[in-house]
Structure 1
Amino acid sequence: MKISTFISTLALTLLMLIPFNSNAQEFPDLDKSPMDAAAFPSKYDEPKKLIKIIYSRPQLKGRSIWDLAPVGKVWRTGANEAAELTIYTPMLFGDTKIEPGTYTFFMIPGKQEWTAIISKDLNVWGSYFYNEENDVAKVAVPVKNDKNNSIEAFSIVFQETSKGTDMYLGWGHIRLAIPFHKL
């Protein structure tokens, strides 16, 4: 047997002895609070879009809303990273004109009303580094309770109004309508 044939056979034999893992890439399970987005008028109408929010959707899983979003404390509006709000056209948020751009959207939960906050902070994990000095606008919105329907996963949707759009937040029995008015 030639030496080159012997080496080739030996190399092939050694390769066969080395375990080959065809599943080398492992993918994580679905996040416990998956990321989602809501937009108006729709996710697919990009040129006409007025507003969009990207947020994570925590689930109650038998827990109280107040354990996950404590009364009187700044909350990231979801889970994981703080919610990211993008406005595509100048809008009124309360009495404050908001210029087009990307912002962080925080909330301060309360039993009777929640305070919605638009902040110029970006790429914020949770609300741990919330800085009130970076607030662009705040609006207090009344809490409504839907005693007949409970939403397990925190949810946001937009609905058109005569003045612009309302951003609806729902979780458990709590419902909030946050108005954004076109200029």
Structure 2
Amino acid sequence: MKQLFFTGLIIVFSMALQAQNGTKMPPLDKSPMDMSYYPVNYPILRIQPNKTVEPLTARVVYSRPQKNGRKVFGELVEDGKVWRLGANEATEIEFFRDVKIGGKKIKKGRYTLYALENKEKWTVILNTETDIWGAFKYDAAKDVVRVDCTVYRQAELTEAFSMMFEKVNDKQFNLVMAWDDEVVRLPIGL
């Protein structure tokens, strides 16, 4: 009987201790993080049996703000003002080998992506400052390259800011960025 009493007491004590040490997790972010790879779907391709996969070249990590009926370009994303290419933490791109952007050799490594948006073009900026929230401490002195990218209009609106890679040929791929009615492609050479 004593053993049963002590076992019950231990269970009750453990439950009380667990309740006291419970961790309250933060709520789901309104602009969830996402990730894209080049080659496209790289992690999935790696687990396919008997599949030869190109080596990993790039990965982009970004947060996906939603349009939610707002006017995006010219208001939410101000023309001519540095934008973090997403929401929350500034968007980061990592290259697992040297690449070329805007005719400039970019060494493998991790960089932050920013953009200056206007109706005709986005100036996409690769910057060495990483692990930063927003664009509040953006430092142009740390820019590696700036590339003007043409804005294309699409009939179907993209509700959540989206980024993906697309293969052009064996020597080039694009980082495609879309939100609202705008689509932009940043060419990246191998």
Please state how far the C-alpha of 1:65 moved relative to its aligned partner: 1.1
Mapped partners of 2:42, 2:26: distance in 1: 26
Mapped partners of 1:36, 1:65: distance in 2: 20
Please state how far the C-alpha of 1:23 moved relative to its aligned partner: 9.2
Mapped partners of 1:25, 1:125: distance in 2: 25
Give the alignment partner of residue 81 of structure 2, picking from 59, 68, 73.
Answer: 73
Are 2:107 and 1:107 aligned? no
Runs (4+) of structure 1 moved beyond 2 Å? 18-29
Structure 1 length-normalised TM: 0.85
Please state how far the C-alpha of 1:89 moved relative to its aligned partner: 1.2
Please state how far the C-alpha of 1:22 moved relative to its aligned partner: 8.4
Which residue type is aligned with residue 43 of structure 1? Y
Aligned identity (percent) is: 32
Compared with structure 1, are the counterparts of its residues 43 and 26 closer, same or farther at alpha carbon in structure 2 (3 Å cutoff)?
A: farther
Name the residue aligned to 1:43: 42
Give the alignment partner of residue 30 of structure 1, picking from 24, 28, 31.
Answer: 28
Mapped partners of 1:23, 1:90: distance in 2: 47
Secondary structure of 1:138's aligned partner: strand
Name the residue aligned to 1:83: 91
Which residue type is aligned with residue 156 of structure 1? M
Mapped partners of 2:90, 2:100: distance in 1: 22
Mapped partners of 1:23, 1:63: distance in 2: 41
Count of residue pairs the alignment pairs up: 170
Mapped partners of 2:27, 2:132: distance in 1: 24
1:52-81 residue CA offsets vs partner (Å, 9 max, x unmatched): 110000001111112221110000010001
Structure 2 length-normalised TM: 0.82
Secondary structure of 2:183's aligned partner: strand
Please state how far the C-alpha of 1:115 moved relative to its aligned partner: 0.3
Which residue type is aligned with residue 115 of structure 1? T
Uncovered stretches (5+) of structure 1, i.e. residues with no partner: none
Larger Rg: 1
Name the residue aligned to 2:165: 158
